[in-house]
């Protein structure tokens, strides 16, 4: 049965998944299957055009009690960032640029992290997102389906990249960019699949 999730309490330190304590009685821990989970990103110019692609989940998990998420943390492999709308040399050039210090500087910051904190009664999730060593709160709607020991969670998360020092083509850092300006908003469409521990 599909449920809009109310999420309560779990302050998250962005460390390995093994930091989860054993699940209390009545709480189910779902280890997310990174191979069968997807994260799609989309960025756009301020005036027309844009690009999209994927990035891979490294590891993650959710704790759920009576249909309510009581904890969750995820690590994203930023070195896996890819583009899906270009081919050949243009594809390779863009992916190289995304990995550079202009964007995500993946040599220095190879992972990003997201940890659930709480949510309101309507299921608008609050979480702490760390990219390039910068941590800020994000809020997004989440739905979760639990069936026979498996879970599917979906969310669409829009992030202001300027808060994370992702500067290239941003009007927040550079003047007179004109039609070369790139929107500060990056959208991530997330589908997580996992099974009970």
From 24-38, 88-102, 142-156, 163-177, the region with the lowest mean pLDDT: 163-177
Calculate mean pLDDT across residues 28-48: 91
Please name the helix (run of DSSP H) or strand (run of DSSP E) that holds residue 93, with its range, or none: helix 88-99
Mean pLDDT for 78-103 is 96
Q: What is the pLDDT of residue 73?
A: 95
The pLDDT of residue 123 is 67
Which helix (H) or strand (E) segment is 157 a member of? strand 150-160
* CATH code (residue 168): 2.40.128.110
Domain residue limits at 82: 2-15+24-196
Q: Tell me, what's the pLDDT at 67?
A: 67
pTM (2 d.p.) = 0.81
Q: Within 13 A of 90's CA, how many CA atoms are on the CB side?
A: 5
* Chain mean pLDDT for the chain: 83
What is the tens place of the pLDDT at every residue in 49-58? 889 999 999 9
What pLDDT was estimated at residue 133? 96
When comparing pLDDT for 94 and 25, which is higher? 94
Number of domains making up the chain: 1
Residues 6 or more apart from 168 whose CB is under 8 A from it? 97, 102, 103, 182
Is pLDDT above 50 for 150? Answer: yes
Stretch 73-84: mean pLDDT: 97
- Cβ atoms of 75 and 16 within 8 Å: the answer is yes
Q: By C-alpha distance, which of 85, 76, 87, 62 is closest to 143?
A: 62
**So what's the pLDDT on residue 62?**
85
Is the per-residue pLDDT at 136 higher than 50? yes
Supply the pLDDT for residue 145: 85
- The whole-number pLDDT of residue 42 equals 96
């Amino acid at each position: 049965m599909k449920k809009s999730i109310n999420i309560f309490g779990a302050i998250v330190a962005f460390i390995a998944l093994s930091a989860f304590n054993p699940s209390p009685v009545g709480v189910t821990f779902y280890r997310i299957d990174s191979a069968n989970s997807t994260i799609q990103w989309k960025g756009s110019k301020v005036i027309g055009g844009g690009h999209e692609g994927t990035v891979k989940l490294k590891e993650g998990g959710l704790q759920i009690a009576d249909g309510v998420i009581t904890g969750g943390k995820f690590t994203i492999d930023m070195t896996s960032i890819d583009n899906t709308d270009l081919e050949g040399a243009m594809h390779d050039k863009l992916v190289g640029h995304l990995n550079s210090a202009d964007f995500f500087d993946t040599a220095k910051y190879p992972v990003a992290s997201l940890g659930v904190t709480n949510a309101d009664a309507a299921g608008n999730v609050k979480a702490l997102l760390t990219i390039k060593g910068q941590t800020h709160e994000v809020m997004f709607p989440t739905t979760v389906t639990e069936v026979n020991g498996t879970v599917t969670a979906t969310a669409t998360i829009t992030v202001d990249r300027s808060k994370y020092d992702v500067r290239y083509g941003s009007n927040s850092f550079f003047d007179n960019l004109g039609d070369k300006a790139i929107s500060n908003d990056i959208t991530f469409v997330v589908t997580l699949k996992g099974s009970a521990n």
